[in-house]
Amino acid sequence: MQQVKEGDVVKVHYTGKLTSGEQFDSSVDREPLEFTVGAGQMIKGFDNALPGMAIGEKKTINIPAEEGYGERSDEAIIPFPKENIPDDMKLEEGMTLTLSNQDGQPMPVIVKEIKEDVVILDANHFLAGQELIFDIELVEIT
């Protein structure tokens, strides 16, 4: 029986949950997720769970924050000048905005606080600092 090894392109179904049981993502009602094992396309803990799995096999894994989206970082809290925000944009605490990073890639941020002259933005991934639980089913090795 063929087993996954690093470099294989695989298709998996997954459901991601927090330790509270709250589900944050799932591919179950969509197409399976396709990626190359070990190519850095997935978070480390997810990637490391695939080698050795066989088609049709299911497993549940726990991924600590350091093998997921990392710990929360104070450096990702950004004071953003209000003068750089369009006048017609109505900001609210908790809302998500999309900025571009230095490479031009979209970067979601959350408005944490609105002050007189700056808006405090949080660029930490929303799953940073969290232990994650994934139910994984290997659908295909291509």
> What tens digit of pLDDT does each residue of 74-123 get?
999 999 999 988 889 999 999 999 888 788 889 899 999 999 999 999 99
CATH number at residue 116: 2.40.10.330
| 141, 8 contact by CB (below 8 A) | yes
Domain that holds residue 101: 74-122
64 lies in the same domain as 20: yes
Is residue 100 domain-shared with residue 117, that is, in the same domain?
A: yes
Per-residue model confidence (pLDDT) at position 100:
83
Report the number of distinct structural domains present in the chain: 2
> Does residue 60 form part of some domain?
yes
Q: Among 31-35, 55-59, 100-104, 123-127, name the one with the lowest average pLDDT.
A: 100-104
For the chain, the average pLDDT equals: 95
Q: Residue 22: pLDDT band by 50, 70, 90 thresholds?
A: very high
C-alpha–C-alpha distance, residues 82 and 85, integer Å: 5
Res 129 pLDDT > 90: yes
